[in-house]
C-alpha cells in the first residue's frame, strides 16, 4: 500500500502542469535590470571624471609643488587614464541606451546577446590595460615622492599600495564583473523564456 501511494504521488507530480512565468513580469524585470546597468556606467563615469579633475587641481592649481618634470608627466597620465576610462563607460552607457525595448522579442534578444559579447570582449581587453597604465603612471609619480623616504619608508608605503591594487583587481573587480554578468545573463534568460513561450503558442496555431 505504501508503494502504491508513493507511485501515485510521483505520477501526480509528473502530471502537474509546469508553472508558466508571466511575460509582463519578465519584461518589467528586464527593464529594471537595464536601468541598473545604465546607472552603474553613468555613476562610474562620473566618479572617474571627478577623480581626474581632483588630480589636475592637486597637480597644477594647489599649493603642492613638484621638482621633477617627470612627476608632472605622471600627474597628467594619472588624470588622463581615468578620463579615458570614463569615456569608455559613457560609450558603454550609450550602447545600452540603444537597445530597443520596443523591438520584437527575437530582435531584443539578439541585441542583448550582441551587447553581452561586446561587453565580455571589452572587459577582457580594457581592464588589464587600464590597470597596467595606471600602475605605470603611479610608478613615475613615486620616483620623486618616495625619493624623500628611507628604504624602510618606501617599503611601508608600497606594501599597502600593491595590496590595494591586487585587492581591487582580483577581488573587487571580479565581484563587480560577476554581478554585471549575472544581470546580463538574467536578461537574456528571461528573453529566451519569453521567446520559447511565443514559439509554443504559435506551434498549435500552425497545426
Question: In the block, which residue shows the cell 581592464?
Answer: 127
pLDDT value, residue 28: 85
Residues in Cβ contact with 183 at an 8 Å cutoff, skipping those fewer than 6 apart: 33, 36, 37
What average pLDDT does the structure give for the chain? Answer: 87
Ranges 18-22, 118-122, 202-206: which has the least confidence: 18-22
Closest CA relative to residue 49, chosen from 20, 98, 88? 88
Contact of 85 with 128, CB cutoff 8 Å: no
**197 pLDDT more than 90:** no
Q: pTM of this prediction? A: 0.83
Closest CA relative to residue 190, chosen from 34, 21, 37? 21
Tally Cβ neighbours within 10 Å of residue 25. Answer: 10
pLDDT digits (tens, 9 = 90+) for 172-190: 999 999 999 999 999 999 8
Amino acid at each position: 500500500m505504501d508503494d502504491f501511494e508513493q507511485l501515485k504521488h510521483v505520477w501526480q507530480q509528473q502530471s502537474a502542469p509546469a508553472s508558466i512565468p508571466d511575460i509582463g513580469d519578465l519584461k518589467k524585470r528586464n527593464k529594471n535590470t537595464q536601468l541598473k546597468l545604465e546607472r552603474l556606467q553613468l555613476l562610474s563615469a562620473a566618479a572617474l571624471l571627478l577623480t581626474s579633475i581632483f588630480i589636475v587641481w592637486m597637480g597644477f592649481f594647489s599649493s603642492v609643488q613638484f621638482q621633477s618634470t617627470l612627476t608632472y608627466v605622471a600627474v597628467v597620465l594619472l588624470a588622463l587614464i581615468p578620463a579615458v576610462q570614463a569615456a569608455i563607460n559613457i560609450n558603454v552607457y550609450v550602447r545600452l541606451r540603444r537597445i530597443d525595448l520596443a523591438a520584437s522579442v527575437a530582435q531584443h534578444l539578439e541585441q542583448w546577446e550582441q551587447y553581452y559579447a561586446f561587453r565580455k570582449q571589452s572587459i577582457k581587453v580594457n581592464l588589464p590595460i587600464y590597470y597596467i597604465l595606471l600602475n605605470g603612471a603611479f610608478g613615475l609619480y613615486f620616483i620623486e615622492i618616495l625619493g624623500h623616504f628611507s628604504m624602510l619608508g618606501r617599503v611601508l608605503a608600497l606594501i599597502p599600495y600593491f595590496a590595494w591594487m591586487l585587492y581591487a583587481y582580483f577581488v573587487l573587480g571580479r565581484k563587480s564583473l560577476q554581478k554585471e554578468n549575472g544581470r546580463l545573463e538574467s536578461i537574456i534568460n528571461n528573453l529566451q523564456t519569453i521567446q520559447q513561450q511565443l514559439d509554443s503558442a504559435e506551434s498549435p496555431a500552425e497545426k
